[in-house]
Amino acid sequence: MSQSPKILAFAGSLRKDSCNKKMVKIAIKGAEAAGAKITYIDLKDYPMPIYDQEIEDTQGLPENALKLKELMLSHDGFLISNPEYNSSMSAAFKNLIDWTSRKAKPDEVYLCCFAGKIVMLMSASPGGLGGLRGLAHTKEVFGNIGSLVLPQQKCISNAYEAFANDGSLKDAKQQQDVMNLGKKITEFIVKLNK
């Protein structure tokens, strides 16, 4: 691969002090150390209405959905830390998928910004399972829309106590495990494109 892998990184959470935002930023360090070019985004900067086909039919895709599609199309993979809400993914994250899966132009390939993308998932949760149930749903959705979810993942339980004030994980092994997720997706994309 002549160029560094381009990876889009974000959390499926909107809250400013989200543990999942902290977690994905740790994984970013591992990806950058392995040679990836990272674009980090905050979903709070891309507000969209709840998906409604009547809005799509009368107004087209919202401006932020178009911006997100463009970002997704220009990257090789996604590094995502997704919180668990009621044993599933967050509404903000599902809404991103629902809007960006829609065609922006009539001749556009359906699901073009997901097809063939490499995805690395992780989660942090105050609960005892660390968001594991939500990741199971997230993985299933990505598999159905043409993305390849890598088998490595990390869930941080009791997340409100797991992070230090600087955003790092207090447990050195957990910190390294999360950094390794960034490293693994970078290495996989490099091997895939040789």
Range of the domain at 82: 6-192
Number of domains in the chain: 1
> Which of 93, 99, 100, 52 has the alpha carbon at shortest distance from 75?
100
pLDDT, residue 2, reads 53
- Residue 26 resides in a domain: yes
- Residue 145 resides in a domain: yes
Angstrom distance (rounded) from CA 90 to CA 1: 34
- Residue 1 resides in a domain: no
pLDDT, residue 7, reads 98
What share of the chain in percent tops pLDDT 70?
Answer: 99
- Residue 173 resides in a domain: yes
Contact predicate 36/5, CB 8 Å: yes
Residue position matching structure tokens 């088998």: 151
Give per-residue pLDDT as tens, 123-165: 999 988 888 999 999 999 999 999 999 999 999 999 999 999 9
- Residue 36 resides in a domain: yes
Across the range 68-92, mean pLDDT stands at 95
pLDDT, residue 1, reads 43
Residue 43 has pLDDT above 80, yes or no: yes
pLDDT, residue 130, reads 87
- Determine which of 1-5, 38-42, 102-106, 112-116 has the lowest per-residue pLDDT on average: 1-5
Model's pTM, two decimal places? 0.95
- Residue 80 resides in a domain: yes
Kindly report the CATH number assigned to the domain that includes residue 155. 3.40.50.360
